[in-house]
């Protein structure tokens, strides 16, 4: 199991990693933050990126999140 930190910006033109820092990723997300749509998009995107199961451990309602990669 691995954990990573991300900083999210919603309502962008596409979902992508903007910058990879030492201890976190800056991520643009196409979905809006309403009704958990951005969280679903983040899980889907990072699951494909790491080819593994991903879940949000911390930060369901904030821009800064902690993801668990199994």
pLDDT, tens digit (0-9, with 9 covering 90-100), for 9-67: 999 999 999 988 888 999 999 999 999 999 999 999 999 999 999 999 999 999 999 99
E strands along the chain, which residues? 2-9, 16-20, 24-28, 54-58, 64-69
> Helix (H, G, I), strand (E, B), or coil: what is residue 7?
strand
Question: Do 49 and 67 meet the contact criterion of CB atoms below 8 Å apart?
Answer: no
Domain count within the chain: 1
Q: Which domain holds residue 21?
A: 2-69
Total Cβ atoms within 10 A of residue 6: 19
Q: What is the pTM of this model?
A: 0.90
For residue 56, the domain's CATH number is 3.30.1200.10
């Amino acid at each position: 199991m691995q954990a990573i930190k991300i900083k999210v910006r919603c309502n962008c033109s596409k979902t992508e990693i903007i910058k990879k820092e030492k201890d976190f990723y800056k991520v643009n997300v196409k979905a809006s933050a309403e009704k958990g749509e951005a969280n679903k998009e983040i899980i889907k995107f990072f699951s494909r990126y790491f080819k593994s199961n991903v879940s949000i451990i911390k930060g369901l309602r904030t821009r800064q999140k902690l993801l668990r990669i199994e």
